[in-house]
Amino acid sequence: MKLKQSLPILLPALIAFGCKDNNKQEEKDEVAEDSIAQQDTIRYHSEPLITDHYTADPSAHVFKDKIYIYPSHDWDSGEPEMDDGNHFNMKDYHVYSMEDPNGEVTDHGEVLSVEDVAWAKRQMWAPDAAEKDGKYYLFFPAKDKDDIFRIGVATADNPEGPFNPEEEPIEGSYSIDPAVYKDTDGEYYMYFGGIWGGQLQRWQTGEFAEEDEYPADDEPALRPKIAKMSDDLLSFAEEPKDVEILDENGEPITTGDNDRRFFEAAWVHKYNGKYYFSYSTGDTHNIAYAIGDSPYGPFTYQGVILEPVVGWTNHHSIVEYEGKWYLFYHDSSLSEGKTYLRSMKMMEIEYDEDGKIKTMQSYTEVD
């Protein structure tokens, strides 16, 4: 057997979200069809956790001695595939739970819909959840009436919902992929941001810009954001700050460093007293990570947790359960490569003696 690194980059998402040349659509369609046919030679290292519908961006937490998963809910809305990601047109959320990592997954049904959210128009993308004082919070991005991504919050008395949304998004919020981390001292922090369809590039001046603008390739890449949360977890307690991701020389990762720069899907966990900031590199399809001494960073790049999966996107979470660590992620294996129809999966994480996470692959090619 040998690792098959080329397949994810050849799948149908090449014809859409990450494509910069829509004039080559026909050629890319042919490449995608060839790539899907190659799935017969693939052995996947894990199976979808849910097979009766499509789930993506799984956010996993341990509540009440169970693993609860808060993913987005993919469906085919008929939107054409474009660079702005409009075909990721999710409209509601389900909650899932597992009493055992190797056991059955319970679907608790729909817990929040875009129709329930007064300020939201469409595209309920990757959510996250948190618990405080017996109350449960669902944080979610959605586009408002002006098609600008904001971050909302909904609350429930139980981890399985249903969730009741606030009337307005979090003041000062923007972009996508909220991830709320509870530190060991009891403070809560939200990490957020994503480029391209996530609109982070439009907020460089503090105001929303109508056109995309990115730093030059040799300049520091756009940074994810962090903000400490208020006591009730319904607002920011401070202005969002940049999260620095540095290379081995202590220099900021640059825009042109596509293999390492932040794209979307921030997540933080703590291991042996260190903060692990993990994220997706987007168009190079890695789940990468960096380590720091504070929830604010800076974080120094360490390597890749998960190499490219089948499909264009990946979005993950990391959780400890009964002394073992698990990576939750998604791919497009169940839909045979449709990048907007994804399925959540999980694998166990291993650390080496220095605290480095061992790089994993989601599949291998069988000769």
Burial of 65 (0-12, 13-18, 19+ CB in 10 A): exposed
CA distance 110 to 162: 7
Structure token digits, residue 25: 């659509």
CA distance 200 to 242: 12
pTM above 0.85, yes or no: yes
| Cβ–Cβ < 8 Å for 325, 316 | no
CA distance 31 to 132: 48
At residue 365, the pLDDT reads 87
At residue 39, the pLDDT reads 63
At residue 38, the pLDDT reads 52
At residue 17, the pLDDT reads 38
Q: Which residues contact 139 (CB under 8 A, 6 or more apart)?
A: 127, 128, 129, 130, 151, 152, 153, 178, 180, 190
pLDDT, tens digit only, all 367 positions of the chain: 333 333 443 343 333 333 333 333 343 333 334 344 456 789 999 999 999 999 999 999 999 999 999 999 999 999 988 878 999 999 999 999 999 999 999 999 999 999 999 999 999 999 999 999 999 999 999 999 999 999 999 999 999 999 999 999 999 999 999 999 999 999 999 999 999 999 999 999 999 999 999 999 999 999 999 999 999 999 999 999 999 999 999 999 999 999 999 999 999 999 999 999 999 999 999 999 999 999 999 999 999 999 999 999 999 999 999 999 999 999 999 999 999 999 999 999 999 999 999 999 999 988 7
Active site residues: 57, 264
At residue 18, the pLDDT reads 38
